[in-house]
């Protein structure tokens, strides 16, 4: 037997013995017939509570904050504001109701849409955005 094979077999025997020892120790620990103790109700609820707290601070709270900011932005809309819609259209508000907004996209081109579909207000930047998007000649 070579030295390499001998060290391999010694390692194999050691790992087998350690596995047997772990099994033997576990068997002795429960030799009296008692089953291992199950975690109590508190032990099961604590991880779920921690997961809920993490999900709340990482997902729910930022979403609620964003929704509140959007609602306040919608309530501050007025006629003449330059806006970007959820579909990406740029226009100026020409009429506003409780739930319906009329957006003028170009001269004599008006679109009625839900107020909630207004994405952002771009006060004073609409003309700059239109001019920068057109190719210079």
More confident residue, 111 or 132: 111
Higher pLDDT, 124 or 87: 87
Distance of alpha carbon 19 from alpha carbon 132, whole angstroms: 72
75 in helix, strand or coil? helix
**pLDDT of 74-115, one tens digit each?**
999 999 999 999 999 999 999 999 999 999 999 899 999 999
Nearest to 116 by CA among 88, 68, 74: 74
pLDDT (0 to 100) of residue 128: 67
Q: Which residues pair with 90 in a beta bridge?
A: 84
Q: How confident is the model at residue 17 (pLDDT cuts 50, 70, 90)?
A: very low
The class level of CATH for 78-133 reads mainly beta
pLDDT in tens, 30-84: 555 555 666 677 777 888 899 999 999 999 999 999 999 999 999 999 999 999 9
CA 83, 85, 86: angle at the middle one, nearest 5?
Answer: 145
Buried b (16+ CB within 10 A) or exposed e, 58-86: eeeeeeeeeeeeeeeeeeeeeeebbbbbe
Residue 128 burial (C-beta neighbours within 10 Å; 0-12, 13-18, 19+): exposed
The pTM for the full model equals: 0.58
Domain borders along the chain are: 1-30, 39-76, 78-133
Judged by phi (left if over 0) then psi (alpha if -120 to 50, else beta), residue 97 lies in beta
């Amino acid at each position: 037997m070579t030295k390499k094979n001998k060290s391999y077999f010694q390692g194999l025997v050691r790992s087998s013995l350690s596995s047997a020892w772990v099994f033997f120790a576990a068997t002795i620990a429960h030799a009296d017939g008692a089953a291992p103790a199950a975690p109590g109700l508190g032990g099961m609820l604590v991880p779920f509570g921690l997961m809920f707290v993490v999900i709340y601070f990482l997902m729910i709270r930022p979403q609620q904050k964003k929704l509140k900011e959007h609602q306040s932005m919608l309530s501050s809309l007025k006629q003449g504001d330059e806006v970007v819609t959820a579909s990406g259209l740029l226009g100026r508000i020409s009429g506003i109701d409780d739930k319906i907004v009329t957006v003028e996209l170009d001269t004599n081109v008006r679109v009625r849409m839900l107020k909630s579909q207004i994405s952002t207000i771009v006060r004073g930047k609409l003309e700059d955005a239109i001019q920068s998007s057109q190719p210079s000649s």
